[in-house]
Amino acid sequence: MKSWLPILLLSAMPALADEVGKVGVDWVGNDILIEAIPDPEVQGVTCHLAYFDRSVIDRLRQGNWFEDPSNSAIECSQTGPIVIGDIARGPGGEDVFRESRSLFFKSLRVKRIYDEKNHVLIYLAHANEVTEGSAKMSISTVYVPQ
């Protein structure tokens, strides 16, 4: 294996999340998890992502072991001086974070899109599914000072 390959693979990976909150929502153990996600390519921006985490009891009751709901909410803030690194500049943006929500076919993603004209970073939380797209999404923006 080439010596630069592990570095390339690590640099292509999305950011790692740090669980900062966990709120129980019912007696069967379902929770809302809140994770802090620092943008790996934009220093000074941290996003907080909240999503539903199903319990084992709920999985048994629903009969669906391998899938979590797509619902999520996101809020991003400037947490230090903003320094933009090597980011995608096109309208499709790039993934900052992704986490599996089913065994194979669904993931929860946070995508960054840079609106250079208005000096705004846009963070979109959405589900990504192979067969049936989901309209469930949440958006947050961070102004980039000049």
pLDDT by 10s per residue, the chain, length 146? 444 333 333 334 456 789 999 999 888 888 899 999 999 999 999 999 998 887 778 777 777 666 666 678 999 999 999 999 999 999 999 999 888 766 566 778 899 999 999 999 999 998 876 566 667 889 999 999 98
- For 16, the domain range is 5-143
DSSP element (H, E) containing 12: helix 5-12
- Looking at residue 95, its amino acid is D
Nearest to 50 by CA among 16, 84, 23: 23
Domain count, the chain: 1
Name the token pair of 16.
Answer: 């790692």
Whole-model pTM?
A: 0.78
